[in-house]
């Protein structure tokens, strides 16, 4: 029983930490996307006035697009936000379906962790070579730090999803599609939000 409680506390602590990291990532990509939009509008305004635009706009925008896309993909792995073909998984017996899904997550985890290690090594080479961007003339390695982070976290999050699928298989949980899981998660978040508002209002009344 003590081991179960210890494992349960570790899982809860990890979930809290994971939620905090995801929130930071979401704010980060939101700010980057907003900056990208503002720079784009500013550049278009300059061109409309027949003034030379920012020469580094295209390259900077490309870096921001890559970074926000990869980090967003990593967040989607955690939230099961990627589009999947799960007809076969949901049609199979419960435990077999979970095992099959776990195998798919494992393959993705190994692939992205391998790519992340490769990206990490490439980042080190960029630092050693002191490679700089063409138009902005700043080092390229900071961009690859974010790329490496996004790829490695994707690999880790696929690994976590694999563990969850194995755990679900051992408990014989019903398999639902990714879309149904997203809807259920949204309903839970909405219920939690309403409960928090109700508790706050009740506190104010008191």
pLDDT, tens digit, 9 for 90 and up, residues 16-61: 888 899 899 999 999 988 888 888 888 888 878 877 767 777 788 8
**Residue range 129-151, pLDDT digits in tens:** 888 877 777 888 888 999 999 99
CA dihedral of 43, 45, 50, 56, whole degrees rounded to 10: -10
pLDDT over 60 (residue 205): no
Nearest to 40 by CA among 18, 17, 16, 64: 64
Query: Is 188 inside a domain boundary?
Result: no
Cα three-residue angle 12-15-17, rounded to 5 degrees: 110
Query: Is 43 inside a domain boundary?
Result: yes
**Residue range 159-174, pLDDT digits in tens:** 998 888 888 887 776 6
Q: How far apart are CA 159 and CA 74, in angstroms?
A: 12
> What burial letters (b/e) apply to 42-73, b meaning 16+ CB within 10 Å?
ebeeeeeeeeebbeebeebbebbeebbebbeb
- Assess contact for 63 and 36: CB atoms under 8 A: no
What tokens appear for 36 in the block?
Answer: 């990208």
60-73 average pLDDT score:
89
Number of domain units in the chain: 1
The DSSP call for residue 164 is H
Q: Which of 86-90, 155-159, 181-185 has the highest mean pLDDT?
A: 155-159
Query: Is 47 inside a domain boundary?
Result: yes
- Structural domain range at position 128: 2-175
Q: Which of 110-124, 153-167, 168-182 has the lowest mean pLDDT?
A: 168-182
78-94 average pLDDT score:
73
Instruction: Tell me what pLDDT residue 101 has.
Output: 85
Confidence of residue 179 (pLDDT cuts 50, 70, 90): low
Q: How far apart are CA 76 and CA 80, in angstroms?
A: 6
- Sign (positive or negative) of CA dihedral 28, 31, 34, 38: negative
Instruction: Tell me what pLDDT residue 150 has.
Output: 94
Confidence of residue 185 (pLDDT cuts 50, 70, 90): low
Query: Is 32 inside a domain boundary?
Result: yes
Query: Is 129 inside a domain boundary?
Result: yes
Nearest to 21 by CA among 154, 140, 184: 154
What tokens appear for 146 in the block?
Answer: 């974010």
Query: Is 138 inside a domain boundary?
Result: yes
Helix runs in 56-93, H state only: 57-79, 87-91
Query: Is 205 inside a domain boundary?
Result: no
Tell me the Ramachandran region of residue 174: left when phi exceeds 0, alpha when psi lies from -120 to 50, beta otherwise. beta
- Assess contact for 75 and 155: CB atoms under 8 A: no
Confidence of residue 69 (pLDDT cuts 50, 70, 90): very high
DSSP string, 91-148: HS-HHHHHHHHHHHHHHHHHHHHHHHHHHHHHHHHHHHHT-B-SSS--BSHHHHHHHH
Query: Is 187 inside a domain boundary?
Result: no
């Amino acid at each position: 029983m003590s081991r179960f409680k210890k494992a349960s506390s570790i899982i809860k602590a990890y979930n809290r930490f994971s939620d905090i990291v995801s929130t930071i990532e979401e704010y980060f990509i939101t700010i980057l996307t907003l900056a990208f939009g503002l720079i784009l509008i500013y550049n278009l305004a300059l061109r409309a006035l027949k003034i030379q635009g920012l020469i580094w706009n295209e390259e900077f925008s490309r870096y921001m697009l890559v970074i926000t896309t990869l980090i967003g993909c990593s967040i989607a792995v955690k939230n099961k936000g990627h589009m999947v073909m799960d007809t076969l998984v949901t049609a199979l017996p419960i435990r077999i379906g979970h095992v099959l899904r776990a195998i798919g997550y494992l393959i993705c985890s190994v692939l992205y962790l391998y790519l992340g290690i490769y990206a990490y090594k490439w980042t080190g080479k960029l630092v050693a070579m002191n490679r700089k961007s063409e138009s902005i003339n700043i080092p390229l390695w900071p961009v690859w730090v974010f790329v490496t982070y996004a790829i490695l976290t994707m690999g880790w999050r696929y690994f976590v999803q694999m563990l969850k699928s194995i755990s679900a298989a051992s408990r014989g949980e019903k398999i639902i599609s990714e879309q149904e899981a997203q809807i259920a998660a949204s309903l839970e978040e909405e219920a939690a939000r309403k409960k928090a508002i109700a508790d706050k209002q009740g506190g104010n009344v008191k």
